[in-house]
A and B are shown apart, each in its own frame.
Chain A
Amino acid sequence: MSESYVVPQGEVLRYTFEERFIHWMAGLSYLYLLLTGLAFWSPWLFWIAVIFGGGTISRELHPWIGLIFAVAVALMYRMWSTQMHETDVDKKWWDAIPHYIRNEDDQVPTVGRFNGGQKLLFWGFFWCCILLFLSGLILWFPHWIPWNLRFLRYIAVIVHPGAALISIGLFIIHVYMGTAMEEGALASMIRGYVSSAWAKRYHGIWYDQVTRGNATRK
């Protein structure tokens, strides 16, 4: 797949339309699931369900929106999973994580299209989604689970919030880095482009690949 795009001078295409569309399909559905889920999580947050049309509607829609999220994550898996395997460069990147956190980016090795943190985020969300999907199916239709298989419901009520909490941890970091910490990251997920300087600095290996033309995936 070697698509060609018209890219403004000094910028590099980082996310195709397909990638951006699927990302926001997952992002917006996740946001709905997070907010209605929080309403069911704590009585102190039940007012969120009122904003979304009441508890009954929130309970009705939550599983359906969950299906959209699951489909989006499945598409992401098809789209990105082959690019998300950890490489030797990623291991070096993880070794330099204290520098990365302190924004000492000249001491962080340059990496391929995705760095180790992004790969961890991908797999974290992927496995959380699997757990949320399976436990969510049980919670969707508790009256279909026969009494002698009730242990499935007992597992589901703990797995669903547990996996959700892990995903919320990932989500907080992801949103923070995407909107506040990494300038240009949000724009790249909306319009698709990053500046060449940005690409060289953080994803130099990937930048070399795409600018060389006969790019090889790493």
Chain B
Amino acid sequence: MTQVNLEVRAISGHAGPVPGTGLKREFEVCKLIDTTTCIGCKACEVACLEWNGYSFSETVFDNSYQTMPNTAWNYWNLIRFNEYEDPQHGMMLLMRKDQCMHCDDPGCLEACPADGAIVQYVNGIVDFQQENCIGCGYCMTGCPFNIPKFSPGARKVFKCTLCVDRVSAGLEPACIKSCPTGCLHFGTKEDMKFLAEKRAKQLRDVSGFKDAGVYDPSGVNGTHVIYVLHDAKNPELYGGLPSDPHVPWTVQLWKKPLKWLGNLAMIGGVLGVAIHYLRFGPKDEGLEQKPTPPPAPRQEPGPGARQ
């Protein structure tokens, strides 16, 4: 879906419509994660490592089912495990597959100063191009989900690609492929939204989760990874999923108003001094009437002379 589109639009001397017209409805892709049917098996973690060629990192035990505390530059996909005592449903094991959300308004891309280091495809995938990355880490500050991670060895930043290499070849992402419960789905954004809303309605009407809903935050203009949550009013329960993610306002302030204000100020400053020079010229004209020889040296106290 990311490749050059060679779909035929018109054919000369052809009887009838162009074959294939209207078949493709939408270009935007989406991953749907139904947290209510995730069993935390971590097959997606393994599939992600396998496909992307990373070896399994040492796990960290912190008295929970979670493999390690956080995603890493070479560990893009992590099940976040949370025990939660729900007043209505009692003990709940909340599991959320954490990875890049592929925001429609990506903070990483907005913050990045390196030409071509981050691209957003028309299909919604946000992809890092490490050959253009300068390793400044601004993307880490721009991201509201704590996803991009710095590799000290490569001195570049890495994250989930939504398996752009697979998707561009017409395959679903590796994590989707591996999921045994079917809690992971992949398709067009429209279809995934439809499926997610249907499942959320089922949870509300049948399963008694009155606050069940879909997580597709509008603060970043929607994401290309969406969740079905038992309790969409409290996404923070699911290992710190922000309830209203935004590109940090200081990043927006820096990249928009400050940039223009700064550019104007710098150009204005240079123009200002140039105009001053044209209007008033240098100060010391005619001042330099140095006495001519002999240049007999003499002793003088230094300028910083103190008592």
Chain A interface, DSSP helix/strand/loop, else mixed: helix
Interfacial chain B residues near A29, Cβ < 8 Å: none
| A169 in complex: contacting residue of B111, B146, B269, B281, CB < 8 Å | B269
B52-95 CB contact bits vs A (8 Å, 1 = yes)?
00000000000000000010000000000000000000000000
Interfacial chain B residues near A11, Cβ < 8 Å: 290
Name A50's closest neighbour in chain B (CB-CB): B115
B248-291 CB contact bits vs A (8 Å, 1 = yes)?
11110110001101110110011011001100111111011111
- Number of A residues, CB within 8 Å of B: 74
Interfacial chain A residues near B266, Cβ < 8 Å: 165, 168-169, 172
Q: Is A74's CB within 8 Å of the partner chain B?
A: no
Interchain CA distance A147-B69 in the complex, whole Å: 12
Interfacial chain A residues near B289, Cβ < 8 Å: 197
| A172 in complex: contacting residue of B250, B263, B273, B280, CB < 8 Å | B273
Contact between chains at B253 and A158 (CB < 8 Å): yes
Say whether, besides A40-B136, A215-B305, A217-B306, A161 and B258 are in contact (CB < 8 Å). yes
Q: Is A32's CB within 8 Å of the partner chain B?
A: no
Which A residues, 1 to 36, have Cβ-Cβ distances below 8 Å to chain B?
Answer: 1-16, 19
Smallest beta-carbon distance B303→chain A, Å = 5
Q: Is B299's CB within 8 Å of the partner chain A?
A: yes
Contact between chains at B287 and A1 (CB < 8 Å): no
Interchain CA distance A144-B277 in the complex, whole Å: 48
| B277 in complex: contacting residue of A147, A155, A181, A184, CB < 8 Å | A181
Interchain CA distance A169-B152 in the complex, whole Å: 36
Contact between chains at B134 and A143 (CB < 8 Å): no
Which B residues, 286 to 307, have Cβ-Cβ distances below 8 Å to chain A?
Answer: 287-291, 294-307
Which one of B1-9, B19-27, B137-145, B201-209 is at the interface? Answer: B137-145
Contact between chains at A157 and B265 (CB < 8 Å): no
A23-61 CB contact bits vs B (8 Å, 1 = yes)?
000000000000000011111001001000011101110
Q: Is B113's CB within 8 Å of the partner chain A?
A: yes
Smallest beta-carbon distance B33→chain A, Å = 21
Contact between chains at A153 and B141 (CB < 8 Å): yes
| A10 in complex: contacting residue of B111, B272, B287, B291, CB < 8 Å | B291
Interfacial chain B residues near A157, Cβ < 8 Å: 111, 138, 141, 248, 250-251, 254
- Number of B residues, CB within 8 Å of A: 63
| B134 in complex: contacting residue of A1, A2, A55, A172, CB < 8 Å | A55
Contact between chains at B305 and A2 (CB < 8 Å): yes
Smallest beta-carbon distance A121→chain B, Å = 14
Q: Is A154's CB within 8 Å of the partner chain B?
A: yes
Name B285's closest neighbour in chain A (CB-CB): A183
Contact between chains at B305 and A217 (CB < 8 Å): yes
Name B248's closest neighbour in chain A (CB-CB): A154
Q: Is B97's CB within 8 Å of the partner chain A?
A: no
Which one of A85-93, A101-109, A125-133 is at the interface? Answer: A101-109
Interfacial chain A residues near B18, Cβ < 8 Å: none
Say whether, besides A9-B295, A46-B115, A147-B146, A101 and B258 are in contact (CB < 8 Å). no
Most buried by A among B254, B261, B302: B302
Interchain CA distance A183-B287 in the complex, whole Å: 9
Name A152's closest neighbour in chain B (CB-CB): B141
| B135 in complex: contacting residue of A56, A211, A214, CB < 8 Å | A56
Contact between chains at B300 and A161 (CB < 8 Å): no
Q: Is A176's CB within 8 Å of the partner chain B?
A: yes
Say whether, besides A154-B251, A180-B277, A2 and B283 are in contact (CB < 8 Å). no
Say whether, besides A40-B113, A46-B115, A162 and B300 are in contact (CB < 8 Å). no
| B250 in complex: contacting residue of A103, A158, A206, CB < 8 Å | A158
Q: List 7 A-B contacts (CB under 8 A).
A: A8-B295, A8-B297, A13-B303, A19-B304, A79-B304, A143-B152, A183-B283
List 16 other contacts, CB 8 Å, given A46-B115, A58-B134. A2-B301, A2-B306, A5-B299, A7-B297, A40-B113, A43-B113, A56-B134, A142-B140, A143-B137, A161-B258, A162-B258, A172-B270, A180-B273, A181-B276, A197-B288, A216-B307
